[in-house]
Amino acid sequence: MNTTALTRLTILIRRELWESPVAFKWTPALIGGFILLLIILALIIGAKVDNQMVFAIDGLRMYAAMDDSQQRLMSSGALFSIGALFHQIMFLVVIFYLAGALYDDRRDRSILYWKSLPVSDTITVGSKILTAGVAAPLTFLAGIAVTQLLLLIIASAYGLAAGINIFTEIWLPANLPRIWLLTLYGSLVQSLWLLPIYAWLLFCSAWAPRLPILMAVLVPVVIGMFQHFWSFFSNFQLPEHNLLWMLLLRIGQGVVPSSIQWQEIIDESQNSGSYRPSDEILMSFQSVNGYLLNWEMWAGVVIGVVLLAAAVWFRRRATDS
């Protein structure tokens, strides 16, 4: 890719962030604020019930007495679950963003302004999918990082009160840089995993005469229902490959922080009675790599690329009516 295409992509992605500040700026800020508010409320209520803060301080001392791997498991569990909440909401935000991305400017006719600039439809569509798949994970990661930092600072204040070494018992097991790097890597792989769904939304956004989000949902639902009934009434059995079910599986089986490797826990527990899961069980570079080696991942990417090409085709003809 040459440099002009790259600068154009960059400014076009900034354009998307300017257009949807609520989706990409205020939503992560609000989720972070909401989590902190809940925690502060819990601490205030806790302080009312237990004004010596015995529970909190005892809890921290017990935590400090655990071995390193248990500390790592507990702190990464807490930190990843924050990331998971952010990412689930991000998925919803991105669905609505993509459904409108190639539709809103057709509706208000400002597409004519964008078309007056020397920017190819491929770069335009590319900027939208990159905003959903790369820029959104980055702005949400900023929200995750700030929230996690503030939580650890609060925990450290209590840790000081409990007289534990906050560096070795809180900050070191939390290992924030690893968590952030892993969250970023995981969310980018997740974007690739969800590419067929993202591309489908963008495709609907490019052609739907109105209500692209409804089209995007209705088409697979109707096809899925039809498959279901057709198979049921023709063979008296449920279909082997149901589109709707495949889509739900796709969404459900993605990489999300704290998407626990249940199978591993079950297998290990059966092998040895004294199995104690490590923090790797929550999310690890290895488990994320596993997605990249999966054929389903690349089948989805191929479908996604085809749908994106179709979106470009419709975008080119969007003014031809």
Partner 1 sequence: MKPTIYAEQLTRRYGSTIALDHVDVSIPSGRIVGLIGPNGAGKTTALKAILGLTRFEGTLEVLGLDPSKDRDELMQDVCFIADVAVLPRWARVWQIIELTEKLHPRFSREHCMKYLARTKIRQSAKVRTLSKGMVVQLHLALVMAIDAKLLVLDEPTLGLDILFRKQFYSSLLNEYFDEQRTILITTHQVEEVEHILTDLIFIKDGKFIVNSTMDEIYDRYTELMVAPDAIEEARGLEPIHERVLFGRHILLFEDADIDALQTLGELHKPNIADLFVALMGEHQPTQEAA
- Please identify, using beta-carbon distances, which residue of 7 and 289 lies nearer to partner 1: 7
Instruction: Tell me the closest approach of the beta carbon of residue 300 to partner 1, in angstroms.
Output: 30
Number of residues in contact with partner 1, rule: CB under 8 A? 24
* In the complex, least distance from residue 242 CB atom to partner 1, rounded to whole angstroms: 38
For 3, other C-beta atoms within 10 Å of its C-beta total 7
CB of 320 to partner 1, least distance (A): 4
Closest to partner 1 by CB, 8 vs 72, is: 8
Instruction: Supply the minimum distance, in Å, between the C-beta of residue 93 and partner 1.
Output: 17
- Answer positive or negative: Cα dihedral of 261, 264, 268, 269: positive
- Rule CB under 8 A: say whether 109 interacts with partner 1: yes
Q: Can residue 179 be called a binding residue for partner 1 (CB under 8 A)?
A: no
Residues 12-41 close enough to bind partner 1 by CB under 8 A: 12, 15, 18-19
Residue 113 touches partner 1, criterion: CB under 8 A = yes
d(CA 140, CA 136): 6
Give yes or no for a contact between 206 and 106, defined as CB atoms under 8 angstroms apart.
no
Q: List Cα–Cα distances, 157 to 119, 160, 163, 167, 196, in angstroms.
A: 53, 5, 10, 12, 45
Asked whether 171 and 151 are in contact (CB, 8 A), the reply is no
Beta carbons of 156 and 171 less than 8 angstroms apart = yes
Residue 246 to residues 144, 243, 252, Cα–Cα distance (Å)? 30, 5, 10
Task: For the CB of residue 117, give the shortest distance to partner 1 in the complex, in Å.
Answer: 5
Q: What is the contact surface with partner 1 in residues (CB under 8 A)? A: 4, 7-8, 11-12, 15, 18-19, 105, 108-110, 112-120, 317, 319-320
